[in-house]
Structure 1
Amino acid sequence: MTRSSAPLTLIGVDFSSAPSNRKPIRLALGRRQGAVIRLESQRAMTSLTDYAAWLAEPVAPGQGWVGGFDLPFGHSRELVLALGWPTEWAPLMAHYASLSRDQIRETFAAFCAARPVGKKFAHRATDGPAGASPSMKWVNPPVAFMMHAGVPPMIDAGVSLPGLHAGDPDRVALEAYPGLLARELIGNRSYKSDDKAKQTPERLIARKDLVDALEQGRTRLGLRLKLSHAQRDELVDDGSGDKLDAVLCLMQAGWASEQPGYGMPAQTDPLEGWIVSTPTPTS
């Protein structure tokens, strides 16, 4: 199903598995008008409790949201089969949520230790073409813990995850990945760091170039970002890149909101999921 009604809110979510005042979960909220995505507001959530409460906020029929979330929604089928975990998504997520982070780390470390160099991790079909880390990675970045913290509240709140889990059609969550869009615009240049000592002039220039490219619509998504002067300065000045990452996810959500099936390939594995706007591999 595709949502394109005028009141639809678009959301980009830069997620943290351990949000705090120093590094909150960042939301970028906007709307689409034709080929333009206008950034309307930004929001920070400093706890997972706040995140869960936000997901569960009711919306009026036909006035909901489509969000792009920067966290994985599924594990690779190869990993699931090797571990003997449930091979249907909802039972798999229930099992995964029942594990502690220490159990996840130990299980995945043992899996990797038994595999040859260069093939330590199991990858989903979407990871390669998106240039994303495997969803089982537990450090740098800890995306395995991000899934563990971020997906169960979506299920509890009754949010719809297309291709994976049916829920409220007025609250639609899609897996996004800001690095996919950033690399398209500025290549492999680094534009962010959580370490203030590494928030260099070069990274500042890279953020400025990235924002300029978004405003000019220089992506294959065919969308332009509309910002106020103050919003532009805020995105460029944030050395962590978290606010800009939320906006990149917003753009991916905006593209997906107008695509049949939210732009997900028909052959998407219902266990693994798909990162929206990832180029579909050609056979």
Structure 2
Amino acid sequence: MTTDLATPMLLGCDFSSSPSRRKPIVLALGQRVATRVQLRGLETFDTLDGFARRLAQPRAWVGGFDLPFGLPRALVQALGWPLQWHACMQHYRRLTRAQIRDQFAAFCDARPVGGKFAHRATDAPAGSSPSMKWVNPPVAYMLHAGVPLLLDAGVHLPGLHPGDPQRVALEAYPGLLAREILARRSYKSDDRAKQTPDRLIARKDLVHALEMGQTRLGLRLKLSHAQRDALVDDASGDRLDAVLCLLQAAWAQQRHAAGDALYGLPQGLDGLEGWIVTA
């Protein structure tokens, strides 16, 4: 596979709001030629500062990031926060995690059973958790930690906020692509006791399907033997999740190359809530 240096690098990010050596942020790097996506490497970051420095580097890229880029409009309206995305995010970043938890919990407590959380329009087609959840998974804290890094790096957020057109960040969700292949089979766990042979087999099946191009994205993943082993052997699924985000970024890049300024995001997306790419 030849490399076109004029083609922007692709990034796929499995994000952590509290990265550590044990649970780092994982960044998959790749490049697309036609419908083939070559995995170039994997990088890890055990601090938010280190990841921020990586985002600020001048190399052109299109990236898919596994963290929410916006909050539900119903939540923002109920709390009386700014209804313009950038102003809302600037308000949000100034809050502590404790303040976020308390305000979101009070919002939920005032709502009926079965409808405690507010949802974004993208949640239903993507099958994603509400971006206001602060536990299991704590995606509200991921937004709180991650979006300010993207803003400070000056990247372009299609449909939300203009920035450097050479560095384009999109909200991705690996579970969306994984479910297309595995349905409800689980392929990962951070709990060693749950890192079972069935989950290992699921990771093998998932990687094989990606290499064969057996998804609606119409892209084939190109791996070396060592890369394939690394993805399959990572029982946490973090490396594989980064690669799933990489493929979603590749699909978006392909849409943009065909003339879509929004990188495949819907034309009528809510500019406060954002949208998960490929949903």
SS at match of 1:204: helix
Query: For 2:6 and 2:185, how far apart are their aligned partners in 1?
Result: 36
Q: Return 48-57 or 241-250, whichever deviates more.
A: 48-57
2:110 to 114, 118, 133: 114
Contact 2:7–2:32 (CA under 8 A) maintained in structure 1? no
> Which residue identity is paired with 1:164?
L
Deviations 1:106-136 (A, max 9, x none): 0101100110111000000001110000000
Task: Please name the residue that 1:36 is paired with.
Answer: 36
Task: Please name the residue that 1:266 is paired with.
Answer: 267
Task: Please name the residue that 2:219 is paired with.
Answer: 223
Task: Please name the residue that 1:65 is paired with.
Answer: 61
SS at match of 2:263: helix
In the TM superposition, residue 7 of structure 1 has moved relative to its aligned partner by 2.8
Task: Please name the residue that 2:45 is paired with.
Answer: 45
Query: For 2:205 and 2:110, how far apart are their aligned partners in 1?
Result: 43
> Which residue identity is paired with 1:209?
D
SS at match of 2:18: coil
Instruction: Specify whether residues 263 and 5 from structure 1 end up closer, same or farther in structure 2 by C-alpha distance, changes over 3 A only.
Output: farther
In the TM superposition, residue 222 of structure 1 has moved relative to its aligned partner by 0.3
Deviations 1:236-261 (A, max 9, x none): 00000000000000000000011112
Task: Please name the residue that 1:74 is paired with.
Answer: 70
Contact 2:181–2:209 (CA under 8 A) maintained in structure 1? yes
Deviations 1:179-217 (A, max 9, x none): 000000010100000011110000000000000000000
Q: Percent identity?
A: 68
1:123 to 109, 119, 122: 119
1:106-185 residue pairs with structure 2 within 5 A? 106-185=102-181
Query: For 2:6 and 2:264, how far apart are their aligned partners in 1?
Result: 19
SS at match of 1:180: helix
Q: 5+ unaligned residues in a row in structure 1: which ranges?
A: 279-283
Query: For 2:96 and 2:209, how far apart are their aligned partners in 1?
Result: 41
In the TM superposition, residue 81 of structure 1 has moved relative to its aligned partner by 0.4
In the TM superposition, residue 153 of structure 1 has moved relative to its aligned partner by 1.1
Matched pairs, number: 271
> Which residue identity is paired with 1:202?
D
Task: Please name the residue that 1:14 is paired with.
Answer: 14
Query: For 1:68 and 1:157, how far apart are their aligned partners in 2?
Result: 15
> Which residue identity is paired with 1:272?
E
RMSD: 1.0
Query: For 1:71 and 1:177, how far apart are their aligned partners in 2?
Result: 8
SS at match of 1:119: coil
Query: For 1:118 and 1:181, how far apart are their aligned partners in 2?
Result: 27
- Alignment partner of 1:196 is 2:197: no
SS at match of 2:254: coil
Query: For 1:37 and 1:130, how far apart are their aligned partners in 2?
Result: 23
- Alignment partner of 1:90 is 2:86: yes
Q: Which contiguous aligned blocks of 4+ residues in structure 1 show a shift greater than 6 angstroms? A: none
SS at match of 1:263: coil
In the TM superposition, residue 5 of structure 1 has moved relative to its aligned partner by 7.9
TM-score normalised to the size of structure 1?
0.94
In the TM superposition, residue 18 of structure 1 has moved relative to its aligned partner by 0.3
SS at match of 2:13: strand
Query: For 1:97 and 1:123, how far apart are their aligned partners in 2?
Result: 20
> Which residue identity is paired with 2:22?
R
Query: For 1:226 and 1:55, how far apart are their aligned partners in 2?
Result: 24
In the TM superposition, residue 6 of structure 1 has moved relative to its aligned partner by 3.5
> Which residue identity is paired with 2:92?
Y
In the TM superposition, residue 58 of structure 1 has moved relative to its aligned partner by 1.9
